[in-house]
């Protein structure tokens, strides 16, 4: 076995130390929020809780879970995220596949117009007026209206353009149609990029607030809108002293809402992380 010299050992030690510090810095905010959400009221209000819970209570979570409006907004968030991501990926994959083809009639013009939307846009007020004119006031129209993102389509287009043409030609010789080539060649070979873009869409849908607040009625609004309403209510209660009779701190309630809102992302992201590696098509063509 090759022995490491002193320089390599020093580099490895420094690398592990820096990575550990970085990991702790990333985890600390979540740990802080979680510990404060389950700590006793007197310690939370006195700002004595850091990374170890002082006292123990789950009353804040009981308050969160017993709220009917919380579960309605939670279901709305899942609905918008799941179906919104599906619609966006359907538009993105088919559009990117067509735009990646040099044989596409007026392909350069379409690509230019797609890129142009990233440089110039109508602005929030004209866009809002257009949404109202087309009746974007429910979850279904909301998903369709926000189903297009030029940047993500360009990402997929660039990845599709890198797929070796020899594979497509072989599939064409075997009698495959355009849809079969897309589904059986491009999609499997671009799995990492597709999952990455899907995660971009999903996180944007889950965390989306501005347009949901402006366009959707309260019964259709996702979790972020509900959390904003609850935060404003709790701030007013803190200012008015309305939380003095509760058996939990209003800060704990706020932290409990935050923890519940990020649990789905924490559960899903590690399972999809393995697809983020690039170069899945290496070796697809044999010379």
Q: Is the pLDDT of residue 282 over 70?
A: no
The mean pLDDT value for 269-283 works out to 57
Closest-CA residue to 182 (of 204, 156, 221, 208): 156
Q: Which of 56-70, 165-179, 202-216 is predicted with the least confidence, judged by mean pLDDT? A: 165-179
With bands split at pLDDT 50, 70 and 90, how would you rate the model's confidence at 238? low
231 lies in some domain: no
- Quote the percentage of the chain above a pLDDT of 90: 22
Which pLDDT score is estimated for 276?
61
Question: For residue 1, what pLDDT band results from cuts at 50, 70 and 90?
Answer: very low
**Same structural domain, 141 and 59:** no
* Top-confidence range, 83-97, 102-116, 120-134: 83-97
Q: What is the 3 state secondary structure string of 147-173?
A: CCCHHHHHHHHHHHHCCCHHHHHHHHH
C-beta atoms surrounding 18 within 10 Å: 10
From the list 144, 133, 137, the residue with the least C-alpha distance to 215 is 137
pLDDT for residue 21 is more than 90: yes
| Residues 203, 114 within the same domain | yes
Q: Are residues 53 and 116 in the same domain?
A: no
* 146 within a domain of the structure (yes/no): yes
Q: Quote the pLDDT of residue 164.
A: 81
Tens of pLDDT, residues 36-93: 999 988 898 888 888 888 888 888 899 888 888 889 999 999 999 999 999 999 999 9
pLDDT at 215: 92
User: Do 59 and 72 fall within a single domain?
Assistant: no
User: Domain of 189?
Assistant: 68-223
Q: Residue 171 to residues 103, 178, 185, 267, 284: CA-CA distances in angstroms?
A: 17, 10, 8, 38, 13
| Prediction pTM value | 0.81
- Mean pLDDT, all residues of the chain: 84
Question: Is residue 261 predicted with pLDDT exceeding 80?
Answer: yes
CATH code assigned at 129: 1.10.3720.10
Query: pLDDT at position 107, please?
Result: 81
Q: What's the pLDDT at 32?
A: 92
Q: Report the pLDDT value the prediction gives residue 247, as an integer from 0 to 100.
A: 81
Q: How many domains does the chain have?
A: 2
- CA 91 – CA 190 distance, rounded (Å): 16
Question: Within this chain, do residues 116 and 193 fall inside the same structural domain, yes or no?
Answer: yes
| Residue 278 DSSP code | S
Domain match, 89 and 143 both: yes
pLDDT of residue 3: 59
pLDDT number for residue 281 = 39
Q: What is the dihedral of CA 196, 201, 207, 208, to 10 degrees?
A: 160
- For 251-278, what is the mean pLDDT? 80
| 172 is a domain residue | yes
DSSP class of residue 4 equals: P
Q: Cβ(40)–Cβ(57) under 8 Å?
A: yes
Residue 135: per-residue pLDDT:
86
């Amino acid at each position: 076995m090759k022995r490491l010299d002193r320089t390599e050992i020093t580099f490895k030690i420094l690398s592990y130390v820096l990575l550990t510090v970085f990991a702790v810095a990333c985890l600390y905010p979540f740990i802080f929020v979680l510990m404060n959400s389950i700590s006793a009221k007197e310690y939370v209000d006195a700002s004595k809780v850091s990374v170890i819970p002082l006292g123990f209570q789950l009353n804040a979570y009981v308050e969160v879970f017993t709220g009917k409006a919380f579960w309605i907004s939670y279901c709305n968030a899942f609905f918008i995220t799941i179906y919104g991501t599906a619609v966006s990926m359907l538009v993105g994959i088919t559009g990117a596949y067509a735009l990646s083809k040099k044989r596409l009639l007026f392909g350069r013009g379409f690509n230019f117009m797609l890129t142009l939307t990233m440089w110039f846009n109508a602005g929030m007020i004209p866009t809002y007026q257009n949404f109202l004119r087309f009746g974007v006031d429910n979850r279904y129209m909301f998903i369709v209206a926000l189903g297009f993102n030029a940047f993500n389509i360009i990402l997929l287009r660039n990845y599709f353009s890198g797929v070796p043409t020899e594979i497509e030609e072989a599939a064409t010789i075997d009698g495959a149609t355009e849809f079969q080539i897309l589904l059986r060649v491009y999609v499997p070979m671009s799995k990492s990029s597709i999952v990455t873009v899907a995660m971009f869409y999903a996180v944007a849908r889950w965390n989306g607030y501005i347009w949901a607040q402006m366009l959707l009625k309260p019964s259709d609004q996702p979790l972020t809108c509900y959390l904003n309403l609850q935060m404003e209510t709790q701030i007013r209660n803190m200012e008015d002293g309305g939380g003095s009779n509760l058996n939990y701190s209003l800060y704990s309630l706020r932290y409990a809402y935050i923890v519940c809102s990020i649990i789905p992302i924490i559960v899903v992201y590690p399972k999809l992380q393995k697809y983020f590696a690039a170069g899945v098509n290496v070796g697809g063509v044999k010379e």
